[in-house]
Amino acid sequence: MSTAPLTRTEMAQRVAADIPEGAYVNLGIGLPTSVSNFLDPAKEVILHTENGMLGMGPEAHGDEIDPDLINAGKIAVTALPGASYFHHADSFGMMRGGHLDIAVLGAFQVSASGDLANWHTGAPGSIPAVGGAMDLAVGAKKVFVMMELTTKAGDSKLVEKLSYPVTGLGCVTRIFTEVAVFDIDSSAAAATGVSVTELFGGATVASLRELTGLPLIDATSTTASTTALA
């Protein structure tokens, strides 16, 4: 176990380790995009970009840059052998239809029942912009959230109930933070939803219970944090 909280780079590495070969994956804009840097080149993982491509390759540089070939963040990218292009209704159909295995998203907050808030701060005067956030939240088989556990003010972003506007209800299955990995079982059968499966940088389940105010289940000794395809 590491002795310091994970850096953002290490968080990206940790997320990448849970993405198995053959997975169809959408990496959200921002921090989640960096996960692609740590996917094992020996494993074939097929990246989806919602503007209309499967088999997205790394960012384009120099002569590779083509204004007609961009990702959802409008960054010039490359296409791998085996790539395909499609229009927007097909792209979101493959998302909404449950064909994507994993979406990795950022978040303002996640609730103990897996509700996600990541599209709108609700602040007065802010211009609402949603993009594909709500589609990704409800569409992927597994929704991984990658975020720092606390706000700048020190408040937990893993909460009993969201205070930010909802993106999707009961959709988040795993949360990767700098101090712990959490699994959420939002099925009705689960007595309490959130388990701690890994700890980093000296955090303890007790300290996380205190921070979040949630009755977290200690699954650090029982859970193998690997993801199998459904």
Binding site for another protein (CB under 8 A): 49-53, 66-71, 74, 79, 85-89, 91-93, 95-96, 120, 125-135, 138-139, 165-169
- Locate all alpha helices (DSSP H) within the chain, ordered by sequence: 8-17, 88-96, 133-139, 205-212
Active-site entry in 44, 50, 59, 198: 50
Residues 25/100, Cβ–Cβ less than 8 Å:
yes
Spatial CB neighbours of 107, under 8 Å, sequence gap ≥ 6: 116, 117, 118, 145, 147, 157, 172, 175
**In the complex, minimum distance from the CB of residue 37 to another protein, in angstroms, rounded to a whole number:** 21
**In the complex, minimum distance from the CB of residue 109 to another protein, in angstroms, rounded to a whole number:** 14
Residues forming beta bridges with residue 24, ordered by sequence position: 46
* Residue 82 φ/ψ, nearest 5 degrees: 95, -5
Residues 173/143, Cβ–Cβ less than 8 Å:
yes
User: In terms of Cα–Cα distance, which of 36, 195, 206 is closest to 112?
Assistant: 195
Q: Residue 222: how many CB atoms within 10 A of its CB?
A: 9
**Toward another protein, which CB reaches closer, 140 or 203?**
140
**In the complex, minimum distance from the CB of residue 54 to another protein, in angstroms, rounded to a whole number:** 11
C-alpha angle 54/181/91, rounded to 5°? 20
**Toward another protein, which CB reaches closer, 41 or 68?**
68
**In the complex, minimum distance from the CB of residue 135 to another protein, in angstroms, rounded to a whole number:** 4
| Annotation marks residue 178 as catalytic | no
User: Which residues are identified as catalytic?
Assistant: 50
